[in-house]
Chain A
């Protein structure tokens, strides 16, 4: 049943490392994470991998497989040619801790910078009324499993070292989920522009492509935020209104 497959797995830590080759017995139906577990239990007990649910729901096992950011639990072996060597390495955008595990704490710090929901008061009957058609968009963004594949692939974060200027796609859609939340009573547009760097995104849509939850990050999240920023700061009528009468417009 099983066939032997070649794997090149990056082994190392923050000081450096290299690819090591492993020959692994692969059974039909396996995903890449299964193969890595087999290497771990049979050949390299200390191979560091981060994973949890193994069902595409928690977003822990992100890595780069043959150069592409992927969830290893959702990447089937038969997606590759029978003789193809698989190259597996840690996410490039974040510092390596060990082997396939990276330090993603920067993302948690960005999340903490975002102010929580500021809910409007409840109605007279004690209820919050929101209609399904008004929350569909927000629910799409809330499907995010925080795998950070979008952060890994984002050019601003990956190649241009823009981590002090841009929070990245993950947190743009988190901001969008608050900005478009029917109950949120906060004004987030100024900081979306200034602090979180909405202008840095140049809409290459690479983040949308790698999203395992198929969230339309760019079109449904980032672009509408950019439009709201433009409306606020670059619409001459609004601009005059703000200057002359102190009118603050949102939504």
Chain B
């Protein structure tokens, strides 16, 4: 039997799991508060999924339009989230984002500039004013490199290519993390007073996703197994236009800017199908003929917007419907054509990233040929349930922030609000974790049985004689999620999805990884499967319960938003019998000033008739 005293042990105050924007910001704060801080990074430092963010960070700096302020940003965020956001989180985010962006500049970030030499801000969907601080189309890289280069001088210990396997407990409270080094396959026991989860989303459970391999829902799984609650998992954002071909790039994002600049969607018959899918509530604001849409593109102010610019959920659903009706493109998407709409030099100037992306990866010259696109799983609005003011879960000492946390974005996230989420709530989680750690009179003692169980659970995969190939199980899970828990959901499909996941959970108990524990991707894949299965189950079960369509959650059998449902979040947790419990939880009433701001007419808000008494800190 394993003797845990033989395990390599590290004692610290705070462990941060994850080294993307949120994890790095949390670690910097925890360290600044005087706490000994260790960061677990599943990949090398600086490679986390944050690098893939393009558009920018939303913060009401007011550099480009002076009318902007936190109240307008807050209002935009609530409306984008279909009023299901945690009010307090959306408030904190809107208030603190500008200071966090300025701080990045202090640490070396070089944002694009306005003519006056200030941080430039760009327009984005759902934001009333130009609000996104940006660096071309590589803002995520700038964010992570800035935090990384600042962070390495703050006395933080970074454990690279080190993966968390289990959270350790001392009674109710958290006591540390069991992890393993990829390079050697050795386990490491991190004893800590507080743990911050900052592990990102779980898009890898789907086949078509813009997410990287790291996005396997690790934080959701770790928190769930440790007794924390999950919330809003049914809200998974599908972006309507991801690449679908070639295989190598399936799911990679194609910016909405292509459609904004005139791109149109066609089926295999060459028909511009979006005219057939205009929902009644948008009909008054949408062009109903090709002629009118063309006039809009040419700048006619009396023409209405083309139907390709309807909201993401509508466009994604329409593409899916065309494919289901047998009218999709050869690789199961739709054609996105800008070549016949705009001259080549215009396309290259406005969409250099897209031009480059299609040229290098698909050998498609978008100035002469249409692109093939389809919906791609992009982002998890839901995640671990936390207290808005502290980011702590219901497990004492366990915190969560960034995409793996829930509440900030409600039913749908606005572009640009994710990078600002990372630095606002990363900092808050780091600060509160440090304060919590300081408040303890002694270091919690990890339950030895739990450590042994976790080690055994991981090593069994290597030790058994034969078993399921984890890669093939992963592919199977992706099929289940694409078919059952996709962009448009229905009770029958969701039930099948849950059954499919249950079956895979059984098969996953018998996974086998060949070879030794040293840098073994097969073993790693098997370990990730455990996270993905819990995450997938939480999404499917929550989606089954929410009988309405709101934001990113679309039910074919329950169309439209239902007033009844804005009162509830769906919360899941591990039950005493080991099975997942899922329930509707009544949302607390918002404070009055927030409710007034969110529901205000924009003219009244800007004139100061509303929200004048709201505190600004």
Contacts and interface: CB of A to CB of B under 8 A. Distances in A.
Interface of A: 13, 27-31, 33-34, 40-42, 45-60, 73-74, 76, 78, 97-99, 101, 103-105, 108, 111-112, 115-117, 119, 127-132, 135, 138-139, 142-146, 178, 181, 183
Contact of A33 (B248, B362, B471, B513): B248
A101 B118 contact: no
Interface string B512-526: 011110111111010
6 contacts: A46-B514, A52-B212, A53-B49, A54-B248, A117-B107, A132-B113
B357 to A, nearest CB: 8
Contacts of A78: 363
Given A53-B212, A97-B519, A117-B106, 11 more contacts: A13-B518, A30-B247, A42-B471, A46-B522, A47-B521, A48-B519, A50-B43, A52-B49, A57-B141, A130-B113, A135-B110
B110 A60 contact: no
B248 A116 contact: no
B248 A129 contact: no
Given A139-B110, A142-B142, A181-B110, A58 B52 contact: yes
B117 interface: yes
B476 interface: no
A130 B515 contact: no
A135 B248 contact: no
Contacts of A51: 213
Contacts of B183: 97, 103
B472 interface: yes
Contact of B112 (A31, A97, A117, A132): A132
B522 A27 contact: no
Nearest to B518: A98
Nearest to A103: B183
A112 B153 contact: yes
B460 to A, nearest CB: 16
A54 B49 CA distance: 11
Nearest to B158: A108
B518 A45 contact: no
Given A30-B246, A52-B47, A145-B141, A117 B108 contact: yes
A189 to B, nearest CB: 19
Given A31-B361, A41-B471, A48-B521, A131 B117 contact: yes
Contacts of A58: 43, 46-47, 51-52, 212
Interface of B: 43-49, 51-52, 105-108, 110, 112-113, 116-118, 135-136, 138, 141-142, 145, 149-150, 152-153, 160, 183, 212-214, 245-249, 252, 357, 360-363, 469-472, 475, 513-516, 518-523, 525
Given A40-B522, A46-B514, A52-B213, A131 B113 contact: yes
A60 B513 CA distance: 23
Contacts of A117: 106-108
A60 B149 contact: no
Contacts of A31: 248, 361
A52 B521 contact: no
Nearest to A123: B117
A116 B150 contact: yes
Nearest to B525: A45
B157 to A, nearest CB: 12
Contact of A112 (B145, B152, B360, B469): B152
B135 A139 contact: yes
A55 B52 contact: yes
Contact of B252 (A42, A45, A55, A101): A55
A116 B149 contact: yes
Contacts of A116: 107-108, 149-150, 153
Contacts of A115: 153
A51 B115 CA distance: 39
Contact of A60 (B47, B246, B363, B525): B47
A178 B106 CA distance: 13
Nearest to B360: A74
B185 to A, nearest CB: 10
A144 B46 CA distance: 11
A60 B144 CA distance: 15
| 7 closest cross-chain pairs (CB), A and B | A29-B246, A46-B515, A45-B522, A129-B117, A41-B471, A117-B108, A98-B519
A52 B211 CA distance: 9
A90 to B, nearest CB: 12
A104 B117 CA distance: 38
B520 A55 contact: no
Contacts of A73: 248
A132 B113 CA distance: 5
B108 A49 contact: no
B140 to A, nearest CB: 8
A101 B521 CA distance: 11
A25 to B, nearest CB: 12
B142 A52 contact: no
B520 A48 contact: yes
A46 B51 contact: no
Contacts of A183: 105
User: Max chain A CB contacts within 10 Å: which of B107, B213, B362, B513?
Assistant: B213
B248 A49 contact: no
A112 B456 CA distance: 37
A60 B252 CA distance: 17
A138 B47 contact: no
Given A34-B247, A119-B106, A46 B113 contact: no
Given A27-B247, A116-B108, A143 B138 contact: yes
Given A41-B471, A146-B46, A128 B105 contact: yes
Contacts of A47: 521
- Of A13, A142, A143, the most chain B CB neighbours within 10 A belong to A142
